Amino acid sequence: MAYKFKITRGNAIMNFSEEYCQSRCELIESDSFGKVLAKFVKDNARRDTTLYQYLHERNDDDVSLTHDLQYTLRLLLVMTDNMIIKSGSPYAKYFDQPKMFKRFVENLYTFWRKLQRYAVVLNREQSGGFQNVHFTSAQAAFEELVLKTYRSIEETALGNKNNVYRQITAGVNAGLVLTNFRTNLPYEYRCLDDIPFIEEVIIHPPFIAYSKRNKRDGVFPEINYNPIEDHKFDPEQWFCYPAKIGSLLAFVYFNVKFMAQGVALCNLFELANENEYRGRKPDLVYVYGYEDGEMNQAFYQDDKNNMLVALLSANDYFDYFGYMKKMCLTLHNVYQLNHGNLPIHGAMVRMKLHDDTVKNIVVMGDSGAGKSETIEQIKGLGAAYIEDVMTVYDDMGLLHIDDNGKVVSSGTEVGAFVRLDDLDAGYSFKELDRSVFLNPDQKNARVVIPITDWEDVVASHHVDLFLYANNYDAEGEPLEFFDNEEEALKVFRAGQRMAKGTTTEYGLVGSYFANPFGPVQRQEQTEPILRSYFDKMFAQGVKVGQLHTRLGIKGNEHTGPKDAAIAILKYLTGENELKKLSGDDSE
């Protein structure tokens, strides 16, 4: 990476390997600061702000104006505004209205903080700007430097004394340690060879990112040609996140214009280390944000190399984390179908009760069916009975057969991508120090939260209850079991739900086996696998039923999942009335 700094789609990317400022003067005089200042002037010119009009009256050439402002700020590191005026400096003209210059300083600082700011460093022996400073320490020092520089100018030079100090994140939102790695990809994928791999991610919470969209639409089609072969990639514009999706290895390449989507992956999929992918061909390859001017969003089965691959175009329509996550899971699911396993769009919770029994529950259903909401209610309401509870997976898992011929389940993700509205009040704030918030002030606001260790995700867990999350029926008991396989398959295969705005669908809709991420595209292949697993579950005594979460029925958004959770707990414990956890609530 030869660049020192770039701004693209609201992302400011600082290459600490090439430029690392360690003093206030270095910061103000740096090319990087000059680019931020130029972008700020351009933004104000575009909006024709009062501030821009004031500055433009003093210098009508934006390039020269940017240079003037940068030099003026450097002077303010050693002089006050009054000293500059008295010195007869040509830059004194910017202080004839002190309030306007103070507004310029404040607005520039706000403009900087509104950028999504990332530091990257290339892990190599020679590093011109970064030198031998540890990356984490370097980010902390940069944070302190930015605050010190801003406060020095604001307070000392302009006399704007503060009585309250807020130690906000003024440096970077996240840092990436990168490495140049020669992959073991087949010849057809050599166009990806020079793209650096992410070795380490450091997030500075709360990490809040915004995208052009806040919903995902439709399903990903399958095509009969390789969407990646013969394409060209500028390694300065791309990073690779080597992800462990369940037991599979995926190379996820993303355009730096969509940094938030790439960085948020670290809270969802385990980051593989070099020992896990060196000399190994990945099972899955995904390219997110390819600038082809198209609307491509398809996947391809590369039989020759035994890989599933996909490409998604760089387009505002796809600027949403759901397009990153769900394509990865589509590739995973098709791969598993090819190996005779059954992908499950659902959530699984493992509970150890106080009587030492372990109960594993799978709740299946499409987006917005109430899977995660019900499980969260189980955790809270069952505190008096549950010694330990673990979410094995929150959105996508699979059924497979263990060495003893038993149906078992494993997951794909170490994190959860959930709606803020569907979490208990205060939950997201309790997890503030670990969370990635996406469009938090908009409808369908989401948070990506790490929830489970990868070793627990990929372990084989027996299944006690296999339930369909029915969010659309007002009638019926909260928990009902099916008497036979055909009756169960009718409900599970239809995959119905009342869409609640998590995608672009509304009303009562359905998708085959409630899983538009593989089974829908491979329905003919999935059907015999589906029948085989339901045969085995009924034969092995797994209780198969449906859970009326009523999440899609107005007025039942919170009571529905709560009633469903109570029904499960009563079934597991044999109690008619649930006990509450005793304790002192006085203070």
**Predicted confidence (pLDDT) per residue in 224-236, tens digit:** 999 999 899 999 9
Average pLDDT, the chain: 91
pLDDT band at 583 (very low <50, low <70, confident <90, very high): low
Where is pLDDT greater, at 462 or 557?
Answer: 462
pLDDT of 212 higher than 80: yes
Two tokens, residue 402: 């263990």
pLDDT at 563 over 90: yes
Q: What per-residue confidence (pLDDT) applies to 329?
A: 98
pLDDT score recorded for residue 552: 85
The β-bridge partners of 386 are 353
pLDDT band at 168 (very low <50, low <70, confident <90, very high): confident
* Helix orientation angle between 98-114 and 50-58, rounded to the nearest 10 degrees: 120
Tell me: the pLDDT tens digits for 147-164?
A: 999 999 988 777 777 666
Q: Is residue 132 over pLDDT 70?
A: no
pTM (two decimals): 0.92
- pLDDT of 165 > 80? The answer is no
Tallying the residues shown for the chain, one arrives at 587
Report whether 274 contacts 181 (CB < 8 A).
Answer: yes
Comparing 539 with 370, which gets the higher pLDDT? 539
Which pLDDT belongs to residue 534?
98
Give the separation between CA 85 and CA 67, rounded to whole angstroms. Answer: 18
Q: Is residue 586 scored above 50 in pLDDT?
A: no
Q: How buried is 6 (Cβ within 10 angstroms: 0-12 exposed, 13-18 middle, 19+ buried)?
A: middle
pLDDT in tens, 384-424: 999 999 999 989 999 999 999 999 999 999 998 887 766 65
Among 14-18, 434-438, 578-582, the range of highest mean pLDDT: 14-18
φ, ψ of residue 359 in degrees (nearest 5): -120, 130
| Sign of the CA dihedral with 294 first, then 297, 301, and 304 last | positive
pLDDT-based confidence at residue 274 (cuts at 50, 70, 90)? very high
How high is the pLDDT of residue 114?
94
DSSP H helical ranges for 48-195: 50-58, 62-75, 81-86, 98-114, 135-151
Q: Which pLDDT band, with edges at 50, 70 and 90, does 428 fall under?
A: very low
pLDDT, position 480: 96
Please give the pLDDT value at position 435.
Answer: 87
Model confidence at 375, in pLDDT bands (50, 70, 90)? confident
Please confirm whether the linkage preceding 206 is cis (ω < 30° from 0). yes
* Residue 296, number of CB atoms within 10 A of its CB: 18
Structure tokens at 299: 């996947």
| pLDDT above 70 coverage of the chain, percent | 93
Share above pLDDT 90 across residues of the chain, in percent, rounded to a whole number: 75
pLDDT score, position 506: 65
Q: Quick one: 322 exposed, middle or buried, by C-beta within 10 A (0-12, 13-18, 19+)?
A: buried
Higher pLDDT, 532 or 577: 532
pLDDT at 342 over 90: yes
Sign of CA dihedral 88, 93, 98, 103: negative
What pLDDT is recorded for position 131? Answer: 41
Do the beta carbons of residue 62 and residue 45 sit within 8 Å? yes
Quote the pLDDT of residue 133: 52
